Every structure is written in C-alpha cells, then in structure tokens.
Structure 1
Amino acid sequence: MVALKGAGKRYGPAGEGGFTAVESVDLTVERSAITGIIGRSGAGKSTLIRMVNGLESVTSGKVLVDGVDVGALGEDGLRGLRRQIGMIFQHFNLLSSRTAFDNVALPLEIAGVDKKAIRAKVGPLLDLVGLGDKAGSYPSELSGGQKQRVGIARALATDPKLLLSDEATSALDPETTQSILELLKRINADLGLTVLLITHEMEVVKTIASHVAVIDAGRIVESGRTFDVYTNPQHETTRTLLASALKLPNWLRSAVKPQPSAGDRVLVRLVFFGDTAFQPLTGRLVAELGSDVNILAGAIEEISGEPFGSLVVSYSAEPDVVARANRFYAETGLTTEVLGYVA
C-alpha cells in the first residue's frame, strides 16, 4: 500500500544551515497490515508519516501510495489522494464549536456530500467507535478516549484505504490506550484497512503491529516482523527502546556487576518463543544443574498474537557449571543472554 524509495526530507539549504529530518528511507507497508514506526522524540517519525499524505513534500526519493507518486501530484491530485488517507492525531484536533456528529461530518461536507448521505454515513461510524449515544456532545463534554474515538470516526468518513496514526495514544492513560488499540485492531480486521502508526512506545507496537520499523536520526535502522525485532533486536537503538519492556527489577539491577568475583553467580535471561515456548525447559535446566538454580524474575506475554516469555535465573559462575548450562542451551535451542554477575 505504501512504498518509500530513498525518501528524504531536508529543511533549509544544503550544507550548513540546513537540517535533514528524514534521510534515504526505504520502507514498504503491506496492504491490510498494521505497521508501526517507532523511535525517540525528534527521530523523524512525524515528518515521515506526513510525507505519506503530502503534508510534507519529499526533497529526495519517492513516496508511493497504492502505486501513486505523492510528490508528482498537484493540489487537485493531493486533495483526491487525501480522501483515500485517514489521519488520527495525538491531540485529537477536533473543532470545539462542533458536536461529535458534526466533527465526523466535516470531511464529507468539504467533499460536497449531501446532508442525507452524511446522516446515513456518520451515525453508523459513531456506532462503530462506540459513541452512538454521544452524537450531540461537544468535545468539552467528552473524555480523552472519547475524543480520540471521534477522531477515528472522522478519519474513516471518506472510506479511506489507508489510516495514518500520529502518536494517537500518547496523550491517553494506559487503560484508554488499550481500548483504542483494540478498536484499531478491529477496524483493521473488519474493514481490511491498512494502518501505519508512529509511536515512541514499544508496548503499542507489540500489542497491535504485525510489522515494525525503527527510526533513528531520520534513518530506518531496523525493520521486520514485530515478533522478530522484539525477540532478537539487532540495532542498539532498538535494544534501548526495548530496555524498559525487558528491564530487571530495581533491587536486582543495582546488584549486577559486569565481571565476576570469586564465589559469584552468573545472571542469565532465558527467552522462550516458537518451539521453546511450550517445552518444560526450566525444569530440565534445574535437573541439569541441580538445586543451584535460582529463579529471580520472569514474564509471559504476547507479541502480535505469538507467545513470548522471559525468565531471569542465576547459578554458580564456576566454569564447569557454566559449561554444562551452555551445552544445555545449545542442545535445546534456548535463546539466552548473560546479564552480568551477582554476589
């Protein structure tokens, strides 16, 4: 649905005095998929997503939406394209003087749709986002989550083939965020709508996106299936973004040392996914090493519908014990990471 080919955006003159926000990005967004772009503040996420609907013009390369070169379109062409692209904003961007119904109706009014057709369209959209009873409410009378639902309904008003989400949940509390993500997943499934979202929250990506691209300093540094990127990050930026999701408890992190002393224990994270997710490998590790194994932390979660678990264990850092453990990992295919050493 979307293809960026060497796409870049530079502000100001070449050389000194200019600024490159996005540089030589190659990225594809599969039709009917939910794709996330994640990065820190200032990484170029918002500029990139605005290049897709022509709100920012590319200064190098191309952006194609359903085969159409966005940069080659004139104003009339861009207006036509934007009717096929819905956009959800971080701060909702609702008109305070218009009711929920009228906010959703706005793009249809601009497109010249008659009032009868607008009424027939807007009511079902408000029902779809769970606000059928709020049609007459003004934004000041709605919660943050309800405002965002109005924004989603408005984005769907022109029957777009592509939905862009610009940090749509970052202004919401965790419970409301989860409900909005579930709504987006349902819209994607029921309408077959392609969704491209940007966020700085890994929790959002792993909950909703089947594919993810990591952006840093205007460049895509890693991309792939969300599950693969999450369970086996290759780039340091990705590992940093994942650190909060996979971090050790404070009481344990403060005790970790990079090198062992005599009598210390090695701290290892065991990662379970794929074939290893359903095997009793922890019990077999205990059988292999004896009662020396301590389980210190762990979590089981789901990434794009696939099970994923991690367990932090410690055992003697004596060379013979470590060698036995490593042989066990090699034989079973268990993914591991040495986190350090503790007394």
Structure 2
Amino acid sequence: MTIPASTIASDDAAVVFDGVSKRFPASGESAAFTALNNVSLTVARGSITGIIGRSGAGKSTLIRLVNGLEKPSSGKVRVDGVDVGALDEGGLRNLRRSVGMIFQHFNLLSSRTVFGNVALPLEIAGMDRRAIDERVRPLIDLVGLADKHGRYPAELSGGQKQRIGIARALATEPKLLLSDEATSALDPETTQSILELLKRINAELGLTVLLITHEMEVVKAVTSDVAVIDKGEIVERGQTFDVFTHPKHGTTQALLSGLPGSKLPEAIARGLAPAAAFGGRVVVRLTFFGAAAERPLISRLIQSIGAEVNIIAGTIDEIGGKPYGSLVVAYGADPETVAKAERFFLGNGLVTEVLGYVA
C-alpha cells in the first residue's frame, strides 16, 4: 500500500522517498525551478503502485531518482534500504541490476534481433553465452513472443516492441520494475494487453512495479495503490479504489473527470441550471461500489420514489478488482421526490452529488 514512509516496516518497503526535493539550477535560457518539493512516499514490496499527474508535475524526475539517474537536492531515496544518492558508480551499477526499466518509446537497438535486445544487459554484465541463452529464451516466451526470437524491431508492432522492452528489463532478474509512460504510445487494445502482462509478471514473479503515467485508465486497470503528484508535491495517495471512489484533492478530481461515465453529455451539461424551476428535474451523480454495484438500484429507486428516473450517463467497472459504478440520473425536483430519493440513497450506501437542474 502507498502510505507515509514513517508508518511501514522497512522490511516491507521496496522504495522509500524521505523528504525528497529536487531543484534544477538556471541553465542557458531556462530559469531555475523546483521539480520535487519535500516528497515522502513509500512503495510496498510486491505492489503495483501508480504515480499519476499532469505533464510537468514531476513524475519522470521522481522515477529517475530511484535508479540514480538524478540525485536529490535534499532528502533520501532508499531502494531495499540502500540510500541511492550515496552510491558511487560501482554501487549504482549494482543497484541498476536489481531495478528494471521500461520506456515509452521502447529504446530497442534496430541492429539487434529480439534475442539480442533482451540479451544486451546480460552481455554487458559479462554473462557467458550459454547462461544468457538459458535466461533469455524463457523471458521471450513469458512475454508471448516465442516465435519472434530472430526478428528485428522493424518487423514488430508497437505492442510487440514493448513486450521485448519488458523482457529486457527482466533479464537481470530485478526486484523492482520501473515503467515510465510505457503505454502512452500504444493503442487502447495493445495497452490492455501490456497491462495484463504487467499484472501477470507482478503475480508470478512477486515483482514490485512502480508505474508512472498520466492516464487514469491505466491506473484503474492495473495498480493496487496510487499517489497523485501536482507541481512537485504528492497531493493525494492511498489504495487505488479508495482514491478513485473518494477523491479529495482538486487535481485528483480533475484527472478522474475524464473517465468514462464521469463526463456529462455536452447537450445536458450546457442546459444545467443552478436552481430548480417549476416542474424541473434534478440531475444527480450516483457513485456505488462493492455489493451495491450488483444490485438493481435504478428499478428500486423508481419503486421507492414513485416517479420516473432517466439515466443520462454511466459506467460499471472494476477498480483494484472491486466492482465500481457511476450513474448520472435525473428525476423530479419537487421536495417530496427529492426527500424520498435522499432516503433511498442513504439507506443503500450511495455517494451522491447534485450536478444541477434541467427544465
């Protein structure tokens, strides 16, 4: 679970950010700026933790601190209890063998085959050819490309290239896998297959995954825990289900507004009024989860209030393996109907938000 660094046992922590700030000095035409400001965050061993935020929020700087590509200006980053910022070059090389990395743009060598790309970090480490073969072939099979050993990157699709990038990241048998916008260049169907692969690797290998993304759909699909970063600061964190169903910070709420079922149809949104007119209808967003997501709520609502209910928008989905739903409905705005509806919502554990009124 993603929780404050001080409340988790060190044996359970894969990565700890302890009061980390990163400041970049002025350079050429670029002014000095602070990319990260006093970040404290713990990534639990064996979790898939998402770091989400808008472009420029500090996500990539955060992940570069983990493998020592950047050093903090203040504070400490610990990986398996080791202070990354205190390591010399030899220590960093050892660390990076235990930290795999997959990238948005794959970073494959065009002159090398699939096998050669996956084998590269092992060759650099000085492993003999037989041992390399014994390590690489099962990894290529694991990512579902058993028939592509001798192909070159130019012959592969984007999803296949990313699978090879994942196999290469696993070649040194890391304990931690860093993913920096790894699905941003892929279409939705391919993205889903890559996320399923990451979930399988996490489950089968017990690998901790730290996933950087700006895509809420990715976080929803694969992570158990999430931290939201804005202007270099962690503004919200917790289990993914809790953050998605009860977002507290404005940045989180804004990011979640783009998810299917969260946005009103434009024609309805334009017609919303802040107060009810005579004979008008109230527009309400209902959020429900757990057992409530499996009940026939709308039919029961109609029976309870004795009035018609229009469904305007909605979605039923899963977050962190738990059922979750969001519905936007409209019903009569007269006081009696509204009071009956509020009693129904309260009795069924639904979270409600009045969005406005329509004639």
**Which category describes the TM-score, using the shorter chain as reference length?**
over 0.9
Query: With structure 2 as the length reference, what TM-score do the two structures score?
Result: 0.92
User: How much does 1:332 deviate?
Assistant: 2.6
In structure 2, C-alpha distance between the alignment counterparts of 1:41 and 1:17, rounded to whole Å: 18
Check conservation: 2:181, 2:212, Cα contact below 8 A.
Answer: yes
In structure 2, C-alpha distance between the alignment counterparts of 1:180 and 1:288, rounded to whole Å: 44
In structure 1, C-alpha distance between the alignment counterparts of 2:131 and 2:55, rounded to whole Å: 41
In structure 1, C-alpha distance between the alignment counterparts of 2:294 and 2:188, rounded to whole Å: 30
Alignment of 1:42-53 (within 5 A): 42-53=56-67
User: How much does 1:326 deviate?
Assistant: 1.6
Q: 1:61 aligns with which of 63, 67, 75?
A: 75
1:39 matched to which residue of 2? 53
- SS of equivalent residue, structure 1 residue 135: coil
- Does residue 321 (structure 1) correspond to residue 337 (structure 2)? The answer is yes
- SS of equivalent residue, structure 2 residue 341: helix
- SS of equivalent residue, structure 2 residue 201: helix
Amino acid at match of 1:232: H
- Does residue 140 (structure 1) correspond to residue 165 (structure 2)? The answer is no
- The one-character-per-residue Cα deviations of 1:166-188 (angstroms, maximum 9, x if unpaired) are 00000000110000001000000
2:7 matched to which residue of 1? none
1:101 matched to which residue of 2? 115
- The one-character-per-residue Cα deviations of 1:46-83 (angstroms, maximum 9, x if unpaired) are 01011111111111111111111111111110100000
- The one-character-per-residue Cα deviations of 1:252-288 (angstroms, maximum 9, x if unpaired) are 2232223333322110111111242233332222112
2:3 matched to which residue of 1? none
- The one-character-per-residue Cα deviations of 1:31-55 (angstroms, maximum 9, x if unpaired) are 1110001111111100101111111
In structure 2, C-alpha distance between the alignment counterparts of 1:258 and 1:108, rounded to whole Å: 63
Q: 2:307 aligns with which of 291, 313, 317?
A: 291
- The one-character-per-residue Cα deviations of 1:83-113 (angstroms, maximum 9, x if unpaired) are 0000000000111111111111110011111
1:207 matched to which residue of 2? 221
1:249 matched to which residue of 2? 265
Q: 1:6 aligns with which of 19, 38, 56?
A: 19
- Consecutive unaligned residues of structure 1, counting only runs of 5 or more, are none
4+ aligned runs moved over 6 Å, structure 1: none
Q: 2:181 aligns with which of 164, 167, 170?
A: 167
Amino acid at match of 1:291: A
In structure 1, C-alpha distance between the alignment counterparts of 2:349 and 2:263, rounded to whole Å: 23
- SS of equivalent residue, structure 1 residue 133: coil
2:349 matched to which residue of 1? 333
Alignment of 1:146-225 (within 5 A): 146-225=160-239
User: How much does 1:27 deviate?
Assistant: 0.8
- The one-character-per-residue Cα deviations of 1:4-44 (angstroms, maximum 9, x if unpaired) are 0111111006xx94210111111111111100011111111
In structure 1, C-alpha distance between the alignment counterparts of 2:192 and 2:350, rounded to whole Å: 31
Amino acid at match of 1:329: F
In structure 1, C-alpha distance between the alignment counterparts of 2:227 and 2:70, rounded to whole Å: 20
Aligned-residue sequence identity (percent) comes to 68
In structure 1, C-alpha distance between the alignment counterparts of 2:304 and 2:98, rounded to whole Å: 59
1:266 matched to which residue of 2? 282
- Does residue 342 (structure 1) correspond to residue 358 (structure 2)? The answer is yes
- Consecutive unaligned residues of structure 2, counting only runs of 5 or more, are 1-13
1:26 matched to which residue of 2? 40
Q: 2:90 aligns with which of 76, 82, 85?
A: 76
User: How much does 1:289 deviate?
Assistant: 1.3
CA RMSD of superposed structures (Å):
1.4
- SS of equivalent residue, structure 2 residue 257: helix
- SS of equivalent residue, structure 2 residue 287: strand
- SS of equivalent residue, structure 2 residue 57: coil
Check conservation: 2:48, 2:222, Cα contact below 8 A.
Answer: yes
